[in-house]
Amino acid sequence: MARKPLIAGNWKMNLNHLEAIGTVQKLFFALPTKYFDHVDVAVCPPFTDLRSVQTLVDSDDMPITYGGQDLSPEESGAFTGDISGAMLAKLGCTWVVVGHSERRTIHGEDDALVNRKVSAALKHSLTPILCLGEGEDVRESGAHVGHCTAQLDGALAGLSGDEVARIVIAYEPVWAIGTGKTATTQDAQEVCHALRARLRELHGGAVADAVRILYGGSVKSGNVKELVAQADIDGALVGGASLDPEGFAELCALA
Ligand code: PEP
């Protein structure tokens, strides 16, 4: 089944709201409109940039979508520092990254919390970009496929097939994030294939075929084409390389 590739830039804690405007403008001008028929392009800036990005995208009618990098599992209330799904939806976000390895490692997020965040995103009609992936030790032990499918099970616990069909999964081996080490296309395809097979077991073929599975981990212009050519890889979650708008545009055009 043909799934439209999605290239999503994860800016992490980079670029303030003024720099965000310049970056999105340059990205838009560097990527001829015709490419948007073939690839969905998204940016996930820091929360403080979202209003500026929304204003720009709306005023110039840009086909670029955007999202948050995290959300609270809670609706509202005494959760200092947190941002709710309703707030992101109100800002016109399409996406929200959930369970990024930096959230799991630095902020101790576990599968149960990630599961609650996925539900909160869906409740507010945001598409969660659910990140999962193994660390280097797990990869070396050979247990990476089981590790990733267990993370998937944990993140999707209790969700219906209709809900699962609305998510995007990003397989991001932790050892490849920001390190310059990319998984081989075969390694990436192996895990993405196993994730889709698990979706099929849990929710049937239609759901498994509908869900886009991205690869993330040191993706750049030089490797995106080969990765996206794999049967079960439907795009990329891009960190460092998404901060350079011209380079990111080139990467999107190649996908
Ligand atoms: C990421 O932050 O999700 C990521 C994949 O980063 P990088 O592309 O820099 O490895």
pLDDT tens digits for range 180-233: 888 899 999 999 999 999 999 999 999 999 999 999 999 999 999 999 999 999
| Given the residues 100, 109, 144, 203, the one annotated as active site | 100
d(CA 78, ligand 1 centre) in Å: 31
| 124 catalytic residue (yes or no) | no
**Ligand 1, atom 3: closest residue by C-alpha:** 239
Closest-CA residue, ligand 1 atom 7, reads: 239
Q: How far apart are CA 159 and CA 170, in angstroms?
A: 18
Residue to probe by mutation, ligand 1, list 13, 214, 218, most atoms within 8 Å of CB = 218
The percentage of the chain sitting over the pLDDT mark of 90, rounded to a whole number, equals 94
Q: What is the pTM of this model?
A: 0.97
ipTM > 0.95?
yes
pLDDT value for 180: 84
Q: Which residue did the predictor score with more confidence, 176 or 1? A: 176
Residue 172 is among the residues annotated as catalytic for this protein: yes
In the prediction, which pLDDT does 87 show?
Answer: 98
Nearest residue (by CA) to ligand 1, atom 2, is: 239
**Domains located in the chain, CATH noted:** 45-71+83-254 (3.20.20.70)
Q: Which of 102, 109, 134, 172 is catalytic?
A: 172
Atom 8 of ligand 1, residue of closest alpha carbon: 239
Checking if the pLDDT of 78 tops 70, the result is yes
Given a cut of 70, is residue 1 above it in pLDDT?
no
pLDDT of residue 84 exceeding 90, the answer is yes
Burial 83-116 (b: 16+ CB within 10 A, else e): bbbbbbbebbbbbbbbbbbbbbeeeebebebbbb
Q: Which residues are annotated as a binding site for substrate?
A: 10-12, 178, 218, 239-240
If you average pLDDT over residues 40-56, what whole number do you get? 98
For residue 60, what pLDDT band results from cuts at 50, 70 and 90? confident
Asked whether the predicted pLDDT for residue 145 surpasses 90, the reply is yes
Q: Quick check: 133 pLDDT over 80?
A: yes
